Structure 1
Amino acid sequence: METAMAQLSERLDKRRFTVADNVQGLSSAGTIFHYFVKDGAITSSYQGGRIRVGNQVGRVTGPDTIELLYQCLTIDGQILAGWSRGTVGADQAGRTTLHFVWGWLSGAVGGGESNYIELVD
């Protein structure tokens, strides 16, 4: 598990992501997520689009899986919170991809699936 955790950490740590597909969600192509990973613990901040500011905390749960809790303040002043379970992968160009199943815990109802792609300078 330690090697898998190191590989997953390398795929996420200090990397930025944007939305590739999020039909049911609040984040959009203008939302940027910045992840950090240390010893299996994950944190991130995000903003843009309809999100004024948001953050996430979570953990590595397997060789290519993570789970997160997230919260945000929207540009309309709403406070929202939710959960997600994700799979970390890579596209044909080698960019890291994230696929999440998620749901709201507070401030909204429902859930969905979302896909994110690494931003490469």
Structure 2
Amino acid sequence: MASSEIHERLNNRRFTVANNTHGLSGNGTVFHYLVDGGAITGTYRGGRIRMGSQVGRVTGRNTIELLYHCITTEDEILAGWSRGEIGQDQHGLTTLHFVWGWLSGATGGGESSYVELAD
């Protein structure tokens, strides 16, 4: 998947959590991405996330890396990193699978999966 294909799969698309057992985002959290060349920006909110932002880049044929930060509904400020792989499910929706970790405000990390919200 070239950068233009990642643009096609992510740009101006919204995603919801499919699996994130050790993370903060969950039911009700929606992610929205924009792609400009190899640069990625995003916002997320919902569930325990009051508001969050992401910035990242395309790193390979179907891979990306992101830095993220958020403020929670409990007024915690958290920041972390993630490395993701972009795929597609049996319905043609874009999927994201991340390995991630905290940089500030929390410790640990994990893996999480997301699926595109169908219109």
Identity %: 67
Map of 1:41 onto structure 2: 39
Q: Number of residue pairs matched? A: 119
- Please tell me the root mean square deviation across aligned C-alpha atoms, in Å: 0.7
**Could you say what secondary structure the match of 1:6 adopts?**
helix
**Could you say what secondary structure the match of 2:59 adopts?**
strand
Pairing partner for 2:77 from 55, 79, 83:
79
Task: Map 1:1-121 onto structure 2 (within 5 A).
Answer: 4-121=2-119
**Could you say what secondary structure the match of 1:25 adopts?**
coil
Distance 1:84 1:36 in 2: 17
Shift of 1:29: 2.0
Distance 1:91 1:104 in 2: 28
TM-score (norm 1): 0.97
Structure 1 outlier segments of 4+, above 6 Å: none
**Could you say what secondary structure the match of 1:30 adopts?**
coil
Distance 1:87 1:36 in 2: 16
TM-score (norm 2): 0.99
Offset from partner CA, 1:42-64 (integer Å, 9 cap, x none) = 00000000000000000000010
